[in-house]
């Protein structure tokens, strides 16, 4: 990198640092007022207010229900290029146990995945681009709702996002606390795994805990399934491929009925893969393993497999360009 480029980047960072306190205040406000997918009304309102302060050229709301799009024109537009920058806005359905001043004020909701930060970052980009306009073309800033399991990007696309704003490419990024601060990770090709949801319903025969021989215990069956499922990746996925199966929650019986064997149990979890062939194999093996284990213990198991999000596959040229810029 030349000295001239380093100085140019230094000026950009110095410019952005001037409104860093305002961006921090925005992120704290969003963190304190989290909203779930397609319910981001307060968040969208705050984004619109911030974009007006930034001086963007156009603001469009209600795209994909609660999505917001801002348009910024460069000093030149002869190239006809249109580039998209994207951030997600929704929170997670979880309780926050932090004690800082800007912790969530809404029970059962929390920005536990950093989307408040993503939104603040894109507002910062909007302000810098609107104030400098040192580019040829048009920047389209996409504030997406419903990323956490609601397919918000799909909703915006179906609502005409790319018909109205025909960008040639879209760039987005995700915070990653495990990486050293000040670094950017980019891969051409697979970057983030697909996210699938699995629900396993185990049906046995309830009864009294003092007479287990008269029951078919779905809790016991579930325990065997939890253990057996972990063999799918270790014994069916090639070492050069990647896959994760995590059973993250189990519900069975009544916590107040300590001596009652329930008749049913439900397991929920997630499957993460990069390769569609591996994904297909895991879905098939889950059906076989769960049904086989349950049958062997006198119970029945039904697996409901939901393909929620495909893998994130970065196009090679854009990934290299992003890496060069970083």
Query: pLDDT averaged over the chain?
Result: 95
What pLDDT score was predicted for residue 1? 37
**CA-to-CA dists, residue 142 to 83, 162, 257, 259, 281, angstroms:** 10, 11, 50, 54, 35
- Per-residue burial over 216-225, b = 16 or more CB atoms within 10 Å of its CB, e = otherwise: bbbbbbbebb
Whether residue 2 is predicted with pLDDT greater than 60 in this model: the reply is: no
Q: What is the mean pLDDT of residues 286-291?
A: 98
pLDDT, residue 9, reads 62
Q: State which fold the 194-309 domain adopts.
A: Alpha-Beta Plaits (3.30.70)
Sign of CA dihedral 115, 120, 123, 124: negative
| Cβ-proximal residues to 181 (8 Å cutoff; 6+ apart), any chain | none
Helix (H, G, I), strand (E, B) or coil at 318: helix
Name the pLDDT band for 181 (thresholds 50, 70, 90).
confident
Give the per-residue pLDDT at 6. Answer: 46
Mean pLDDT of 138-154: 95
Give the confidence band of 8 by pLDDT, cuts at 50, 70, 90. low
Whether 194 and 272 have beta carbons less than 8 Å apart is answered as yes
3-175, CATH topology level? Aminopeptidase (3.40.630)
Closest listed residue to residue 124, CA positions, set 192, 72, 185, 191:
72
Phi then psi dihedrals of residue 75, to 5 deg: -65, -30
- The yes-or-no answer to whether 3-175 and 194-309 have a common fold is no
Taking the CA of residue 60 as centre, how many other CA atoms within 13 Å lie in the half-sphere pointing to its CB?
Answer: 17
Q: Which residues, in sequence order, are CB contacts of 118 under 8 Å at separation 6+?
A: 87, 88, 89, 172, 173, 174, 175
Structural domain boundaries in the chain: 3-175, 194-309
Residue bearing the bigger pLDDT, 309 or 224: 224
Please report the DSSP string for 110-178 in residue order. B--SSHHHHHHHHHHHHHHHHHH--SBSEEEEEEE--TTTS-HHHHHHHTTHHHHS--SEEEE----TT
pLDDT band at 7 (very low <50, low <70, confident <90, very high): low
Q: CA torsion sign, 178 to 183 to 189 to 192?
A: positive
> Which pTM was predicted?
0.84
Distance between CA atoms of 256 and 250, rounded to whole angstroms? Answer: 16
In sequence order, which residues have a C-beta less than 8 Å from that of residue 275 and are 6 or more positions away? 241
Task: State the Cα–Cα distance between residues 231 and 139, nearest whole angstrom.
Answer: 48
pLDDT at 229 over 50: yes
pLDDT tens digits for range 77-129? 999 999 999 999 999 999 999 999 999 999 999 999 999 999 999 999 999 99
């Amino acid at each position: 990198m030349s000295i001239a480029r380093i100085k140019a980047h230094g000026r950009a960072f110095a410019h952005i640092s001037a409104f860093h306190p305002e961006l921090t205040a925005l992120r704290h406000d969003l963190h304190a007022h989290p909203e779930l997918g397609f319910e981001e009304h307060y968040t969208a309102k705050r984004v619109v207010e911030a974009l007006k302060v930034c001086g963007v050229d156009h603001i469009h709301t209600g795209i994909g229900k609660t999505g917001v799009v801002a348009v910024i024109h460069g000093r030149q537009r002869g190239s006809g290029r249109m580039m998209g920058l994207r951030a997600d806005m929704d929170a997670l359905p979880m309780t926050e146990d932090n004690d800082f001043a800007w912790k969530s004020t809404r029970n059962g909701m929390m920005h536990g995945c950093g989307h408040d930060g993503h939104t603040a970052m894109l507002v910062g980009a909007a302000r810098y681009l609107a104030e400098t306009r040192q580019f040829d073309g048009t920047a389209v800033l996409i504030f997406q709702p419903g990323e956490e399991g609601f397919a918000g990007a799909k909703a915006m696309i179906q609502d005409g996002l790319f018909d109205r704003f025909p960008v040639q490419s879209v760039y987005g990024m995700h915070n990653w606390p495990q990486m050293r601060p000040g670094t950017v990770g980019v891969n051409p090709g697979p970057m983030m795994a697909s996210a699938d949801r699995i629900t396993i319903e185990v049906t046995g025969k309830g009864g009294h805990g003092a007479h287990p021989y008269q029951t078919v215990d779905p809790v016991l069956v579930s325990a065997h399934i939890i253990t057996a499922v972990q063999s799918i990746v270790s014994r069916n996925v090639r070492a050069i491929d990647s896959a994760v199966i995590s059973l993250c929650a189990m519900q069975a019986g009544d916590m107040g009925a300590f001596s009652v064997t329930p008749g049913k149990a439900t397991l929920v979890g997630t499957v993460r893969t990069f390769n569609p062939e591996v994904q297909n194999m895991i879905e098939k093996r889950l059906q076989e393993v769960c049904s086989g284990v349950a049958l062997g213990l006198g119970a029945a198991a039904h697996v409901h497999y939901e393909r929620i999000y495909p893998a994130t596959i970065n196009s090679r040229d854009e990934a290299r360009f992003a890496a060069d810029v970083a």
